């Protein structure tokens, strides 16, 4: 939830091929897929160097194969994921010989096995592209390369980077100009059988040219992509699988909640995809994991580890998950969202990775909403803070850092509190025993809407954020449609100064500007900020600033402590999580908000000095800062507005 989403640093890491020689790798010979091709293993790189990402692809355009399993059989152990896919990518860090086998079943269900060997030369790669993989036609693809400086000071000039497609049906890049881009994005083209796309990224260092090849395998799908009026998914969904292969949920769960087979005409019933509460009102982690769907096994492993490590005291997340049918974690989900017509939450795995190899598997496409509202004169940044420090930090992808799951605790916890607030808004605990399991989720949700049984609608009746809504809308609600949903700003809206916005907002009942994007968001934001403060002593800052964040015109820390906002917080929290029996005590104990120092810019306002506090530059403060080492490569992370534009539902 944020008007600023850090995506890539222009100093992204660029490793690669032909390190010290300065020569250029010759692209592989194009494969003519119009003639029958025997199933074989393809590697686009003819020469491979230390630190160079490469991929192996099981190419079977004329044969339907299944039960794929890759295995490394010799060489320094490599880290790779998607080992049941037709393509795996990895980065050798040691020179030497490597070998792999891949087993699979052919279209006659007969077991088959292929072997492949390659060597990694001693040279250090200077340029590399990540990460080759298999994708279904129409699914989003991101290719990325990173500038890096070698031990002898050689660095690719980022401005010299250029991407060029060398094989396969032409793709349309999101940005047609690929010159100087560290990353390119496109949707995989339509194909009638497995088809290779190959690309070369090139760059210059000290007058020498370097390049690297990368391949994407595009798989055909017999399932068409429906329009947003006919299906919960109007874009191509990735190939996913049940985290627990033996889960009783079976393929039905996938077809209902994350497949292009899903449609409003055949919306699943709760007998097909029950709420977790219908399985158990005291679910275990194993119960939860039976409802998890992933694109990569590591994503489910990390989610399970998160629950085991951070949900063993209050059991908030297990309790909140009862209102969902499934948890989907896939490389192509960005940003996270909840969908009532499937009853599932959809999680961006960016809060779960621990290694750069795991992070490599995540699509890095930027949030398309970043430019919404750029014609407005103001911003309303927000962030989570703890003890006068940022609670969340972003690790620039260029550095290929590892991290512990604990370092993403506040990110993941706030995400879950938010998304699961949505789930419990539509399916609160008071409804679990009365909901018909024979009706489709579409029909159930629509009935609940028209019967005014959705909790966020009740909030607007009792404690309205915008009393004019939905027949009319106040200025902040209208401005939120510009900022978060891409509506065109009027001349009056463009004329509003930050002071105007501050005077509008500071007496309102919203914790932050995003609350005005919809009644559903208002409900969830009240809850997630409250739970972060109650469980972790993490508070939320919100401010009104200029577009450059150089001047603050108004700001607060812990805004939910305002006397007129507290009743709204209690209304929401008591309904979302009835196990929070002391909710009234918690709400009453919320301290009044603290003002941010408007003489400083947004980042400078982080530290709020208390009366009688020891001033900066003392020995005590110096020792305190020394006791909290912070990797200087990490970037303080402002709040993120996580939702997709099409989550405004049309009730029929």
Q: Specify whether 366 is located in the same domain as 382.
A: no
Which of these three, 345, 371, 397, is where a domain ends? Answer: 371
3-state secondary structure 249-273: CHHHHHHHHCCCCCCCCCCCECCCC
pLDDT in tens, 287-336: 999 999 999 999 999 999 999 999 999 999 999 999 999 999 999 998 89
Q: Is the pTM of this model over 0.85?
A: yes
Say whether pLDDT at 286 is over 80. Answer: yes
Which of these three, 371, 395, 426, is where a domain ends? Answer: 371
Q: Specify whether 261 is located in the same domain as 175.
A: no
Question: What's the pLDDT at 641?
Answer: 65
Which of these three, 349, 371, 393, is where a domain ends? Answer: 371
Compute the mean pLDDT over every residue in the chain, rounded to the nearest whole number.
88
User: Is residue 454 included in any domain, yes or no?
Assistant: no
Q: Specify whether 166 is located in the same domain as 147.
A: yes
For residue 64 the two structure tokens come to: 């339907």
Q: How many domains does the chain have?
A: 3
Say whether pLDDT at 628 is over 80. Answer: no
Nearest of 636, 641, 193 to residue 414 by alpha carbon: 641
pLDDT in tens, 492-506: 999 999 999 999 999
Q: Specify whether 184 is located in the same domain as 269.
A: no
User: Is residue 206 included in any domain, yes or no?
Assistant: yes
Q: Specify whether 115 is located in the same domain as 250.
A: no
Q: Specify whether 360 is located in the same domain as 389.
A: no
The string of DSSP codes covering 517-538 is G-HHHHHHHHHHHHHHHHHH--
Q: Specify whether 364 is located in the same domain as 392.
A: no
User: Is residue 256 included in any domain, yes or no?
Assistant: yes
Domain span holding position 175: 40-219
User: Is residue 212 included in any domain, yes or no?
Assistant: yes
Nearest of 385, 396, 354 to residue 631 by alpha carbon: 396
User: Is residue 609 included in any domain, yes or no?
Assistant: yes
Strand 54-59 relative to strand 40-42: parallel, antiparallel, unpaired?
A: antiparallel
Q: Specify whether 285 is located in the same domain as 421.
A: no
Predicted confidence band at 644 (pLDDT cuts at 50, 70, 90)?
Answer: very low
For residue 4 the two structure tokens come to: 């600023």
Burial category of 90 from C-beta neighbours within 10 Å (exposed 0-12, middle 13-18, buried 19 and up): buried
Q: Specify whether 211 is located in the same domain as 319.
A: no
Predicted confidence band at 611 (pLDDT cuts at 50, 70, 90)?
Answer: low
Burial category of 510 from C-beta neighbours within 10 Å (exposed 0-12, middle 13-18, buried 19 and up): buried
Question: What's the pLDDT at 228?
Answer: 86
Say whether pLDDT at 217 is over 90. Answer: yes
Predicted confidence band at 485 (pLDDT cuts at 50, 70, 90)?
Answer: confident
User: Chain centroid to CA 17: how far?
Assistant: 30
Say whether pLDDT at 93 is over 90. Answer: yes
Question: What's the pLDDT at 9?
Answer: 28
User: Is residue 352 included in any domain, yes or no?
Assistant: yes
CATH number of the structural domain spanning residue 53: 2.60.40.10
Higher local confidence (pLDDT), 436 or 374: 436
Question: What's the pLDDT at 18?
Answer: 31
Q: Specify whether 488 is located in the same domain as 507.
A: yes
Q: How far is CA 378 from CA 500, 504, 612, 638, 640, in A?
A: 9, 13, 34, 16, 17
User: Is residue 414 included in any domain, yes or no?
Assistant: yes
Residue with the two structure tokens 């000071």: 153
Nearest of 484, 483, 475, 502 to residue 596 by alpha carbon: 502
If you ran DSSP here, which 8-state letter would residue 341 be given? T
Q: Specify whether 490 is located in the same domain as 613.
A: yes
Q: Specify whether 428 is located in the same domain as 544.
A: yes
Say whether pLDDT at 276 is over 50. Answer: yes
Predicted confidence band at 630 (pLDDT cuts at 50, 70, 90)?
Answer: confident
User: Is residue 163 included in any domain, yes or no?
Assistant: yes
3-state secondary structure 399-419: HCCCCCHHHHHHHHHHHHHHH
């Amino acid at each position: 939830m944020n008007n600023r989403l850090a995506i890539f640093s222009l100093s992204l890491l660029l490793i690669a091929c032909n390190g010290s020689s300065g020569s250029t790798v010759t692209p592989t010979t194009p494969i003519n897929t119009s003639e029958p091709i025997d199933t074989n293993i393809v590697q686009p790189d003819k020469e491979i160097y230390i630190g160079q990402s490469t991929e192996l692809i099981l190419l079977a355009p004329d044969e339907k194969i299944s039960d794929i399993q890759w295995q490394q059989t010799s060489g320094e152990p490599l880290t790779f994921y998607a080992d049941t896919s037709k393509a795996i990518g990895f980065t050798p860090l040691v020179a030497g010989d490597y070998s792999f086998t891949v087993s699979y079943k052919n279209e006659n269900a007969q077991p088959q096995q292929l072997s492949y060997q390659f060597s990694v030369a001693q040279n250090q790669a200077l340029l590399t592209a990540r990460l080759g993989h298999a994708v279904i036609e129409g699914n989003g693809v991101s290719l990325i390369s990173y500038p890096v400086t070698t031990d002898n000071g050689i660095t690719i000039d980022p401005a010299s980077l250029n991407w060029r497609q060398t094989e396969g049906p032409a793709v349309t890049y999101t940005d047609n100009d690929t010159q100087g881009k560290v990353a390119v994005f496109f949707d995989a083209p339509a194909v009638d059988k497995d088809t290779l796309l190959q690309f070369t990224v090139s760059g210059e260092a000290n007058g020498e040219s370097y390049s690297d090849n990368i391949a994407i395998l595009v798989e055909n799908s017999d399932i068409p992509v429906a329009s947003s009026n006919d299906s919960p998914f109007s874009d191509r969904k990735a190939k996913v699988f049940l985290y627990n292969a033996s889960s009783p949920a079976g393929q039905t769960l996938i077809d209902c909640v994350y497949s292009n087979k899903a449609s409003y005409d055949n919306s699943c019933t709760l007998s097909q995809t029950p709420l977790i509460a219908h399985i158990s009102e005291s679910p275990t982690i194993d119960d939860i994991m039976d409802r998890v769907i992933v694109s990569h096994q590591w994503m489910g492993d990390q989610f399970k580890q998160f629950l085991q490590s951070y949900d063993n005291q209050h059991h908030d997340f297990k309790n909140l998950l009862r209102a969902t049918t499934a948890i989907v974690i896939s490389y192509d989900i960005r940003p996270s969202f909840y969908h009532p017509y499937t009853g599932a939450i959809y999680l961006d795995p960016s809060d779960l990775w621990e290694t750069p190899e795991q992070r490599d598997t995540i699509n890095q496409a930027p949030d398309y909403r970043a430019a919404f509202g750029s014609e407005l004169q103001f911003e309303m940044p927000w962030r989570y803070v703890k003890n006068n420090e940022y609670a969340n930090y972003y690790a620039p992808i260029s550095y290929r850092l590892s991290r512990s799951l604990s370092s993403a605790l506040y990110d993941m916890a706030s995400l879950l509190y938010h998304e699961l607030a949505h789930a419990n808004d539509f399916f609160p605990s008071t409804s679990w025993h009365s909901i018909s399991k024979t009706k489709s989720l579409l029909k159930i949700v629509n009935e609940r809407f028209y019967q005014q049984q959705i909790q966020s609608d009740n909030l607007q009746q009792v404690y309205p954020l915008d009393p004019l809504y939905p027949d009319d809308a106040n200025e902040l609600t209208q401005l939120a449609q510009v900022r978060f949903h891409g509506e065109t700003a009027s001349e009056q809206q463009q004329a509003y100064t930050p002071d105007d916005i501050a005077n509008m907002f500071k007496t309102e009942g919203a914790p932050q500007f995003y609350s005005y994007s919809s009644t559903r968001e208002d409900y969830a934001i009240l809850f997630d900020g409250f739970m972060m403060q109650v469980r972790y002593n993490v508070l939320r800052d919100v401010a009104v600033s200029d577009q450059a964040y150089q001047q603050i015109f108004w700001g607060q820390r812990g805004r939910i402590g305002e006397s007129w906002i507290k009743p709204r917080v209690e209304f929401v929290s008591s309904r979302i999580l009835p196990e929070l029996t002391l909710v009234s005590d918690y709400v009453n104990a919320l301290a009044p908000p603290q003002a941010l120092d408007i003489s400083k810019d947004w980042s400078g306002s982080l530290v709020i000095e208390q009366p009688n506090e020891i001033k900066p530059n003392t020995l005590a403060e110096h020792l305190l800062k020394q006791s909290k080492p912070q990797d200087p490569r990490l970037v303080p992370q402002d709040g993120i507005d996580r939702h997709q534009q099409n989550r405004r539902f049309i009730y029929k």
